Amino acid sequence: MINETDIKKIRAMALELRYDILEMIGVGVAGHLGGSASLAELMAVLYFYKMNLNKDNLQDPNRDRLLLSKGHAALIQYAALCEKGFFPREELKRVKKLEGLLQGHPDLTIPGIEAVTGSLGQGLSIGNGMALALRLDKSPARVYVIMGDGEQSEGQLWEAAQASAHYKIDNLTAFIDWNKIQATGPTADVFGIPDLDKKWKAFGWEVIPADGHDPEKIIAAIDEAEKVKGKPAVIILDTIKGKGFSFAEGNAAYHNGVMDEAVFKKALEELDAAKAGL
């Protein structure tokens, strides 16, 4: 079982990742704050506690793989990869600049990125292929695929979900960032997928719900998912879009919004207050 000190470290890392997101977006430029911030705790758990992935094993066939199927939230993945030392911090200042390494969606030129994502609905298909290859190689590595709740409207995703069940893929853990808001408004209004848990169950998956902002609960859910054999497992993370920034929480305007000076300052102040309270 994870101890209190390690949990604190994960919480602290999730905060650092949120600072990094702010640094990348800056003032007066659109950036995916909401769907990045909702994943901070999960990313901190995966990259800094769970996954076998570091600077020295990036080419190791037995490394764990993470695919951010909701690729528009790349900033949170870039933050984690940067904190792991996969590229210099200066790159955070050059996000979405032609001369920079980090573009608007994950790209294979970035150390630690395993697939190009951004066209929603494709990550699970890619993950299935990787997981099957790893199984053939008798590798202990696991594949983690992170999807959005808005992304659940993509048909390809449900074909992939059936394939995972058919092939009894149990070396892959899928996540749904159930933050209930997509690009233009509440997911339920734009393209609702009611009974998400029942649908995944009906598709042959083990479904595990978890509080997506509680590192301890996330870890317990991942451990539970790993114990599932002979079928795939998905963790539905109950999250808040824009978590950590009061003005962005549950607010579709910050899906890909612009912060002015005042809002940016408020964002920093809120992170500072959270840090002081750790």
Ligand X SMILES: Cc1ncc(C[n+]2csc(CCOP(=O)(O)OP(=O)(O)O)c2C)c(N)n1
* Site residues, ligand X (CB under 6 A): 34-35, 38, 70, 72-73, 118-121, 148-151, 154, 177, 179, 181-183, 187, 241
Closest to ligand X by CB, 183 or 274: 183
Q: How many other β-carbons are positioned within 10 Å of the β-carbon of residue 238?
A: 16
Q: Across the strands, what pairs with 235?
A: 175, 208
What is the C-alpha separation between 271 and 112, in angstroms, rounded?
27
Min dist CB 29 to ligand X, Å, is 17
Closest to ligand X by CB, 87 or 158: 158
Min dist CB 73 to ligand X, Å, is 5
Closest to ligand X by CB, 2 or 190: 190
Q: How many other β-carbons are positioned within 10 Å of the β-carbon of residue 156?
A: 14
Closest to ligand X by CB, 78 or 171: 78
Min dist CB 87 to ligand X, Å, is 23
Tokens of 32: 């995916």
Beta strand pairing call for 30-31 and 257-258: antiparallel
Min dist CB 179 to ligand X, Å, is 5
Min dist CB 268 to ligand X, Å, is 22
What is the C-alpha separation between 255 and 30, in angstroms, rounded?
9
Closest to ligand X by CB, 134 or 181: 181
Q: What is the dihedral of CA 52, 56, 62, 63, to 10 degrees?
A: 40
> Which bin fits 195, alpha (ψ -120 to 50), beta or left (φ > 0)?
left
